[in-house]
Amino acid sequence: MDNTLTLESEDHAVADKIVLVVEDDSDLRQMIRWMLEDEGFIVETAADGQAALEQAMRKKPSLVLLDMGLPIIDGNGVAAGLRSTYGNTIMILTVTADGRAAEKARLIGAIGYLRKPFELDALIDAVRNALDVD
């Protein structure tokens, strides 16, 4: 039996989309990774702000799922670093448990936000909408 991964024609749109998941909670980071990979996305991860910026410099992501409360460099610092390198060519979707999620997203120029805890279907829908894939 051939175990080669075959993408359906509708998944070709997601196959070239890199999503950088920046989350310090390792369990949540891994769960998000598995969910997005299951949807056909290429997923890179980082556990802190410094690692996120380093990862983004190695491989430009199409979308960054950005936890705002990160160690080393917080979400604001990561967003500023991404903007200084790539301008507005990288979309950012914030993820936070903070009650001011909408305000934080607006202040960094994010395209949207998810409040923790969130439904996994909401995450998938938000990523697909952001990257304009069905």
Determine the CATH number of domain 15-125.
3.40.50.2300
- Bridge partner list, 83: none
pTM to 2 decimals? 0.88
The tens-digit pLDDT sequence of the chain (134 residues) is 444 433 343 455 666 889 999 999 999 999 999 999 999 999 999 999 999 999 999 999 999 999 999 999 999 999 999 999 999 999 999 998 888 889 999 999 999 999 999 999 999 999 999 999 87
Contacts of 22 (CB under 8 A, 6+ apart): 45, 46, 48, 49, 52, 64, 65, 66, 67, 70, 75, 78
Please choose, from the candidates 46, 101, 43, the residue with its C-alpha nearest in 3D space to the C-alpha of residue 70.
46
Q: Which residues pair with 93 in a beta bridge?
A: 65, 112
The pLDDT of residue 15 is: 66
Q: Where are the domains of the chain?
A: 15-125
- State how far the Cα of 110 lies from the Cα of 116, in Å rounded to an integer: 16
